[in-house]
Each structure stands twice: as structure tokens, then as C-alpha cells.
Amino acid sequence: MSELELFDPGSATIPLTLTQAAVGRLRDLYAKQQPGKQFRVYITGGGCSGFQYGFTFDNQQLEDDLPLHQDGVDFVVDGLSLQYLEGAQIDFEDNLMGARFRVHNPNSTTTCSCGASFSV
């Protein structure tokens, strides 16, 4: 089974969601700094807990990318990363620790103290 088979495009459930704070921040970024690009969510090996969350803007959609759409915001996740992000929610926080996107991932068993890495 391929990674993309984890998500049924005909289902009403989005496998990875954004909070309203994340939607608002992405709308601002698209309008001011990233026109024509898409927000990419991905997982890489590394970090103090085993895997790291990554976010970037790019203008290329890869063959195994799953395009997602929520509240007028388009974003993508690759099939390999999706298996670790199924059911997760991306939030945007702006507080004394700084401004950043943060993932609330029900699949992680441990996370580092800053929330940038996790293990399953």
C-alpha cells in the first residue's frame, strides 16, 4: 500500500488540519511575502527526539504530495510525512518564546521541550 492510500480524497476528513491562527498567518504570508508559493509541511529525521517537523514555502508540487485545502488556504504534505502526521493539527503561536508554527500530533509518544521534534 502506498503512503497516499492512507488518505481517501473522497472522504470528508482532512488528515492534517490548521487552526484558525495558522490559517490567518498563512493568509498574511501568502499575500505579503509568498505569492504563488505553497506551504509545505514535512518530517525529517533528526532532532533530540528522533523526527523533526519542517515548514517551508515552495513553488513545486512533487509526485507524492497530497494537496490539502482548508478555509481558503492551500498546503501540501508528502506521502511519507503524512503517515506521521495523520490526525495532527498545525497551530501558529506568537508569544514570548517567539512566533512559530507548532504541530499538535496525536501520533507522537514523546516530544522535546520546544515541540520541534518527536518520536513515535
Residue pLDDT, tens place only, 11-45: 456 789 999 999 999 999 988 877 778 899 999 88
6 in a domain, yes or no? no
- Residue the block writes with cell 504530495: 65
Residue 3 pLDDT class (50, 70, 90 cuts): very low
In a domain, 23, yes or no: yes
The residue range of the domain holding 36 is 15-119
One-letter identity of residue 64 = D
* Res. 48 pLDDT band, cuts 50 70 90: low
For the record, the C-alpha cell of 64 comes out as 507524492
Higher-confidence position of 47 and 99: 99
pTM of the model: 0.77
Indicate which CATH number applies to the domain containing 21.
Answer: 2.60.300.12
Amino acid in position 76: V
- Domain-located, residue 94: yes
| Total domains, the chain | 1
Q: Is 33 part of a structural domain of the chain?
A: yes
C-alpha angle 30/31/34, rounded to 5°? Answer: 40
Average of per-residue pLDDT values in the chain = 80
